[in-house]
């Protein structure tokens, strides 16, 4: 049992069992305020303001994020939130407004409707700090490697606590050589990752009481005001929300536990700006996303060619969003994108982002580009998709369409001969010949017509 919860008596347990036996056939009740969150649906949570207001950050059709309140404002100002998959609650530390029985430095548990419950009676402080500085907790997350809850200040404090939320015990106090300098962090590959305002990705080693961090400058866009919320997507990528702009960036980290990780910005979508905020997420169930791509089998050089791309959720889980990447091959240029999506074009690479897809749902958008190849050359254009959630079947994450250039030559023939009479009539035929591997479209050879033979001019 968790601290602060009353023990059930034996009589109460018997009564509860009898009541449960009588209602087993009833439909499941909706979650009540304070209950744990459902782990089935992917969602990002943002807590901001003082006192704190917990909000759901969910994607619209074009992939942008919008916030909606999860219940009313809390009685306290908490920060450093993290989702605990062991019990499906969010945890945080009170660092701003206090309430009766919930002083600064209290560990709190947040459930459905944003209901706050204090866990234990410990007041968590930074060693050696005094006053309100001692209870400054700005960044927090659960580490999947050990199940512990980690919390730190962005500065000036240099300590991070590893807490067992089941017992309230401080398992480890980690001291860094300098202040952490990030407003939130999230775990991946055994490290905590945060982003500074200038776009530097900072990796924290929390494996011992003497913590260290490593900087990777320029790995993320600059975020004036800092990145106040960080979380993990179900696909293993990390999400960071910029305070001032509200932009949400999805970052892929490859070989994160090596000296030279690779960083890829998957996409950046819009979201509301925020302040005094922090973030965490429920990764949700796996979602099998499939991509299909169709286009014209042939084209005339210089014309624009169009592709239609369809994204379908074939899985049992909800997709909170997705990103399609289409790198145009040589011979295609000046692309445009239409549809209810967000897109960015950098050189020959097109990045398209979309929002929530329920199981069985699909969304379609179009890409057009100019062509500049000569017959009989063919263009193969390939697009790939990445969902925000884990994808159990990656064999349908890529699709291609081939189009071939064609040309048309016109040959004329006539029934006239050397013996044809001036002023007589003859037949002239125009013959169209296609060159290229595609089918001939929108071109018809002219039918034979009767034309009078003209007299030669006198010289």
Residue 272: pLDDT band by 50, 70, 90 thresholds? confident
Q: Are residues 347 and 438 in the same domain?
A: no
Residue 20 lies in a domain: no
Specify whether the CB–CB gap between 90 and 46 falls below 8 A: no
Residue 21 lies in a domain: no
Q: Are residues 157 and 269 in the same domain?
A: yes
Residue 416: per-residue pLDDT: 56
Q: Are residues 144 and 114 in the same domain?
A: yes
Residue 424: per-residue pLDDT: 57
State both tokens at 121.
């009676």
Of 282, 297, 317, which marks where a domain is finished? Answer: 282
Q: Are residues 260 and 389 in the same domain?
A: no
Residue 1 lies in a domain: no
Of 243, 259, 282, which marks where a domain is finished? Answer: 282
Q: Are residues 358 and 307 in the same domain?
A: yes
Q: Are residues 277 and 334 in the same domain?
A: no
Residue 422: pLDDT band by 50, 70, 90 thresholds? low
The whole domain housing 315 covers: 289-405
Average pLDDT, the chain: 87
Q: Decide if pLDDT at 436 tops 70.
A: no
Q: Are residues 231 and 332 in the same domain?
A: no
Residue 376 lies in a domain: yes
Q: Are residues 208 and 352 in the same domain?
A: no
Q: Are residues 179 and 266 in the same domain?
A: yes
Residue 135: per-residue pLDDT: 97
Question: Which of residues 363 and 443 earns the better pLDDT score?
Answer: 363
Using CA atoms, how far apart are residues 28 and 307, in angstroms rounded to an integer? 46
Specify whether the CB–CB gap between 401 and 429 falls below 8 A: no
Q: Decide if pLDDT at 447 tops 80.
A: no
Q: Are residues 342 and 218 in the same domain?
A: no
- The total number of structural domains that make up the chain: 3
Count of C-beta atoms within a 10 Å radius of residue 34: 16
Residue with tokens 């530390």: 93
Q: Write the CATH number for 311.
A: 2.60.40.740
Of 255, 282, 309, which marks where a domain is finished? Answer: 282
Residue 11 lies in a domain: no
Q: Are residues 301 and 432 in the same domain?
A: no
State both tokens at 259.
């000296």
Q: Decide if pLDDT at 339 tops 80.
A: yes
Residue 8: per-residue pLDDT: 33
Residue 28 lies in a domain: no
Residue 415 lies in a domain: yes
Q: Are residues 311 and 366 in the same domain?
A: yes
Residue with tokens 């069985």: 360
Residue 22 lies in a domain: no
């Amino acid at each position: 049992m968790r601290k602060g919860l009353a023990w059930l008596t034996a009589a109460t347990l018997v009564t509860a069992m009898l009541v449960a036996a009588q209602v087993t056939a009833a439909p499941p009740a909706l979650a009540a305020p304070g209950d744990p969150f459902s782990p089935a649906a992917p969602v990002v949570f943002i807590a901001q303001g003082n006192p704190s207001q917990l909000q759901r950050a969910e994607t619209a059709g074009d992939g942008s994020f919008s916030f909606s309140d999860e219940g009313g404002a809390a009685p306290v100002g908490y920060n450093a939130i993290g989702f605990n998959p062991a019990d499906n609650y969010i945890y945080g530390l009170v660092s701003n407004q206090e309430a009766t029985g919930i002083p600064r430095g209290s560990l709190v548990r947040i459930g459905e409707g944003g209901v706050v419950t204090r866990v234990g009676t410990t007041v968590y402080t930074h060693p050696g700090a005094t006053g309100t500085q001692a209870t400054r907790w700005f960044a927090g997350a659960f580490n999947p490697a050990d199940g512990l809850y980690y919390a730190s200040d962005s500065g000036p404090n240099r300590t991070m606590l590893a807490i067992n939320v089941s017992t309230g015990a401080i398992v480890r106090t980690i001291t860094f050589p300098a202040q952490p300098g990030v407003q939130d962090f999230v775990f991946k590959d055994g490290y905590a990752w945060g982003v500074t305002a200038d776009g530097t990705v900072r990796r924290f080693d929390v494996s011992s009481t003497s913590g260290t961090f490593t900087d990777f400058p320029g790995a993320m866009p600059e975020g004036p005001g800092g990145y106040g919320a960080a979380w993990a997507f179900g696909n293993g990528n990390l999400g960071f929300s910029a305070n001032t702009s509200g932009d949400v960036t999805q970052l892929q980290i490859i070989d994160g536990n090596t000296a030279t990780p690779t960083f890829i910005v998957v996409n950046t979508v819009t979201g509301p700006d925020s302040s005094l905020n922090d973030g965490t997420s429920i990764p949700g169930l796996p979602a099998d996303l499939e991509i299909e791509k169709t286009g014209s089998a042939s084209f005339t050089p210089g014309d624009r060619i169009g592709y239609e791309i369809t994204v379908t959720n074939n899985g049992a889980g909800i997709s909170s969003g997705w990103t399609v990447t289409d790198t145009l091959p040589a011979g295609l240029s000046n692309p445009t994108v239409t549809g209810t999506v967000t897109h960015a074009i950098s050189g020959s690479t097109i990045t398209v982002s979309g929002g929530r897809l329920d199981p069985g749902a699909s969304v379609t958008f179009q890409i057009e580009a100019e062509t500049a190849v000569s017959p009989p050359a063919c263009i193969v254009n390939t697009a790939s998709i990445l969902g925000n959630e884990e994808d159990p079947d990656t064999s349908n994450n890529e699709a291609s369409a081939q189009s071939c250039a064609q040309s048309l030559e016109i040959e004329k023939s006539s029934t006239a001969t050397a013996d044809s009479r001036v002023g007589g009539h003859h037949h002239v035929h125009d013959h169209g010949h296609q060159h290229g591997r595609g089918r001939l479209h929108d071109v018809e050879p002219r039918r034979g017509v009767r034309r009078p033979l003209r007299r030669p001019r006198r010289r």
